Amino acid sequence: MLRAALLAISLSAAPAAFAACLTLASHPEGRTLASVALPPNNPTFALTYVHSVTRTPVFEQYRVDGGDLVETQIRFEQHGPGLPTEADAGGSFTRVDGNFVVTMDRHFPRIVMQVHADQTPRLVENGHATNLARWGNRALVLAAVVGACSGS
């Protein structure tokens, strides 16, 4: 089911103009590791990983709104530490095909995350998945800026 959800967010080929540039950097050093251009018609991406305690897949859906990263949904099979147990105001908490599905509108200026290869962390955008552990087991920071990536 999680793989089907990943396919559902696949985006069409990006046009010449971009809505935002996602940047992935080492933390706390701030060295840019990757930049990803998101199209203006659907500036969305997902973070996927295996939960460190339940060892089950977690799928987090985001969109870029200006310079904010907005978490719009989280989908998971089993409750575990750090996962929501109820909906935020204006959100929903449901069960769909054996998964908990929580909708939300959480805004972040950046996301700092600890990645580990055992959790198979991925950034999924434009139908492409990037292995976030490719730079080692470490802290990373994800942010967005309006417009094209440098060199785009």
Query: In 10 A of CB 59, how many CB atoms?
Result: 23
Query: In 10 A of CB 36, how many CB atoms?
Result: 20
Alpha-carbon distance of 88 to 141, in angstroms, equals 24
| Residue whose entry in the numeric block shows the structure tokens 């840019």 | 32
| Residue 5: strand, helix, or coil | helix
pTM of the entire structure?
Answer: 0.85
Tens of each residue's pLDDT in the chain, 152 residues = 444 333 333 333 333 466 799 999 999 999 999 999 998 888 999 999 999 999 999 999 999 998 999 999 999 999 999 999 999 999 999 999 999 999 999 999 999 999 999 999 999 998 899 999 999 999 999 999 888 888 65
Amino acid at 32: T
